[in-house]
């Protein structure tokens, strides 16, 4: 029997493209998202490929546990769980809102945490499994208008780093995916030029290739990721000078 993957946030964007790519190469893919019509549309995209449609709001812990149990019982034992569900809202001092932060933390962080809590008992019992957490290069340093989004992705990066060795000792592989700009409904909200913008299918190809490898971190596009990694270790004054310069160019 082919392997089974579970992808959250599979209705649109990177999640949709990744679910499609996995199905194309023979995976059985359980797909979850809040909007059932998006999942049903995805399910019709590749006739002959096996998708399992499991609508889910990842902010609901009980529903997440029930969804994992249903997938394991009805669709197959999960070999790979990709926690991709997330959202982005730009924020500045002029529209600063605790509700924006709450929404992004509940979706991006707690949605991933609930997924981990639901799948770990199955993986620990089998002493096997592969977990992929969707971070972002925006989690490397604080960037303008990304105060809410960036802090959630920084938290996910930190959490993944903290869990890596313990999961490895338990026989569970952990991958951290840190994309740059990808052409999705979320990035369409941006009103600035996005360097090295990738299409969803191109990002999915890189993700699937990376998941088949042995590296902990899957990050792309390479040039932009390298710039962000350099900024991660640069003194603050360099970061802020660059941000001022970029702001003047907008």
Helix, strand, coil distribution of the chain in percent, nearest 5: 50, 15, 35
Torsion of CA 5, 11, 12, 15, to 10 degrees: -10
Q: Under a CB-based contact definition with an 8 Å cutoff, are residues 201 and 17 in contact?
A: yes
List the 80-83 sheet strands across, edge first. Answer: 51-53, 28-32, 4-8, 80-83, 130-134, 173-179, 217-220
DSSP 98-129: HHHHHHHIIIIIIHHHHHHHHHHHHHHHHT--
Separation of alpha carbons 83 and 86, rounded Å:
9
Contacts (Cβ under 8 Å, ≥6 apart) of 93: none
88 catalytic, yes or no?
Answer: no
51 three-class SS? strand
Q: Which residues are catalytic?
A: 149
């Amino acid at each position: 029997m082919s392997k089974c993957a579970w992808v959250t946030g599979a209705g649109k964007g990177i999640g949709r493209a990744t679910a499609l790519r996995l199905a194309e190469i023979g995976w059985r893919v359980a797909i979850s998202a809040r909007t059932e019509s998006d999942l049903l549309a995805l399910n019709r995209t590749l006739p002959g490929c096996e998708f399992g449609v499991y609508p889910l709001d990842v902010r609901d812990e009980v529903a997440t546990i029930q969804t994992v149990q249903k997938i394991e019982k009805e669709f197959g034992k999960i070999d790979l769980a990709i926690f991709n569900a997330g959202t982005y809202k730009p924020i500045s001092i002029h529209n600063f809102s605790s509700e924006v932060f709450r929404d992004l933390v509940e979706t991006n962080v707690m949605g991933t945490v609930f997924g981990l809590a639901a799948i770990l008992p199955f993986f620990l019992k089998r002493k096997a499994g592969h977990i992929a957490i969707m971070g972002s290069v925006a989690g490397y340093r604080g960037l303008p208008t990304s105060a809410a989004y960036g802090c959630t992705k920084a938290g996910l990066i930190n959490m993944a780093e903290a869990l890596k060795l313990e999961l490895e000792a338990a026989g569970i592989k952990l991958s951290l995916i840190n994309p740059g700009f990808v052409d999705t409904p979320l990035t369409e909200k941006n009103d600035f030029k996005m360097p090295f913008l990738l299409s969803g299918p191109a990002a999915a190809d890189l993700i699937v290739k990376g998941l088949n490898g042995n590296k902990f971190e899957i990050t792309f596009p390479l040039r932009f990721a390298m710039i962000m990694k350099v900024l991660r270790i640069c003194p603050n004054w360099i970061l802020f000078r660059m941000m001022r310069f970029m702001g003047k160019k907008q």
